[in-house]
Amino acid sequence: MSGVTLSALASGALFGLGLAISGMTDARRVLGFLDVSGAFDPSLLYVLGGAAATTLLLFRGVLRRGRPLFADRFGLSDARQIDARLIGGAAIFGIGWGIAGYCPGPALAGLGVGSIEALWFVPAMLAGMTAHRLVERRMATAR
């Protein structure tokens, strides 16, 4: 196994463990966090705050390295503008998160902890990803 594969596996495992420990694999907790006018559960603010603080403190320092430890370059987006496609995608993502209480990372981690909700969400997510890929291909060939 290459260094890139091992570091991706270790990073993914650490991310999944963090999601499980923080309760992000529990769709009911996430939905409680999103329900600001009802049974609001503010506990995930600590998770979001910790992620934002870690990024704020470490992101620029990591980029100063010039390249990652196990890859030739950083895989950062070149996009520099906010357009309708970005806003639409963010809206669809947010609506789906609000309806299901899951986004891709916690859903996959939820499979690992035996979440029943993740068992129906992950196949639906994969179907949506496949549908998106097919639409993108058709749009690209139509251009």
pLDDT of residue 16: 86
The answer for residues whose C-beta is within 8 angstroms of residue 81's C-beta and 6 or more apart is none
Length of the chain: 143
Q: What pLDDT does residue 15 have?
A: 87
Token readout for 22 is 């923080």
What per-residue confidence (pLDDT) applies to 134? Answer: 95
pTM (2 d.p.): 0.70
Q: How far is CA 98 from the centre of its chain?
A: 14
CB-based contact 19:25 (threshold 8 Å)? yes
The pLDDT assigned to 123 comes to 94
pLDDT of residue 74: 87
The stretches in the chain having pLDDT less than 50 are none
